[in-house]
Amino acid sequence: MDNQTTLIDLSHTVVHGLVTYKGLPAPVICDYLSREASRKHYAQGTEFHIGKIEMVANTGTYLDSPFHRYADGKDLSQLNLSKLANLPAVKLRTDKPAVDASCFRSPGDLRGKAVLIETGWSRHWNTAQYFEGHPFLTEDAARILSDCGAALVGIDSYNIDDVEDLRRPVHSILLGSEIPIVEHMTNLSELPDEGFKFFAVPVKVSGFGTFPVRAFAAL
């Protein structure tokens, strides 16, 4: 990257007490060691803060690895960086509540790319509306993305699957094809339709399927 590169943040801020997913607990953010309490460990005028966070994996803008869905799937620590960073990317903007295969007019161009779906639903983040009637991908959309070899799929909605469909076909198909998923993205309206790179790198935790990411685009 050089100084011609523009970075666009596509992540929500993780905030104490803010629920990402209805029914899952909000993060608890507190001091482990406060600045005041740290002073006795250091020289005069020197202090530090050590924070503590308690959260479920599905907090803020996060990435799902295959292990989220499948016990024998790759976990966060087993994902190659080449699947998470510096990915050539495209954005698809749609007003459809159910984003189906017909929305992908030239799937041949998606091979090896991060495919980001802009629904605009992130405008409801941190409201009760966010949890109700969200846009999602259909099973046939997931199949076409898998068949065409997409590298990663992201969405600015509450769930990439219809929460009414308890089979969760989109998670099942994409994660079954080792295609990571990023959910609860924001700010996708700032992106062009193509010609940028996408990054969404979670912490390298073993035996863990999902983790928050600082998702961003480089133009």
Name the 3-class secondary structure at 199.
strand
Nearer to Zn ion, 64 or 156 (CB): 64
Nearer to Zn ion, 64 or 118 (CB): 64
Annotate each residue in 166-195 with x if it binds Zn ion (CB under 5 A) or - if it does not, as one string.
Answer: -----------------x------------
The yes or no reply on residue 156 touching Zn ion (CB under 5 A) is no
- As measured in angstroms, the least distance from the Cβ of 183 to Zn ion is 5
Site for Zn ion in 40-69 (CB under 5 A): 64
Any idea of the CA torsion for 147, 151, 155, 158, to the nearest 10 degrees? 80
Q: How many other β-carbons are positioned within 10 Å of the β-carbon of residue 94?
A: 15
Please tell me the count of residues contacting Zn ion according to CB under 5 A: 2
Which residues, listed in sequence order, are joined to residue 98 by a DSSP beta bridge?
Answer: 136
- As measured in angstroms, the least distance from the Cβ of 5 to Zn ion is 29
Which H or E run contains 176?
helix 169-176
Single-letter code of the amino acid located at 40: K
Nearer to Zn ion, 62 or 196 (CB): 62
Residue of minimal CB distance from Zn ion?
64
Name the 3-class secondary structure at 156.
coil
- As measured in angstroms, the least distance from the Cβ of 173 to Zn ion is 12
Tokens of 125: 């983040």
Nearest to 138 by CA among 115, 161, 104, 108: 161
- As measured in angstroms, the least distance from the Cβ of 80 to Zn ion is 20
Q: Do the beta carbons of residue 18 and residue 26 sit within 8 Å?
A: yes
- As measured in angstroms, the least distance from the Cβ of 88 to Zn ion is 23
Tokens of 157: 């909605």
Q: Which residues bind Zn ion (CB under 5 A)?
A: 64, 183
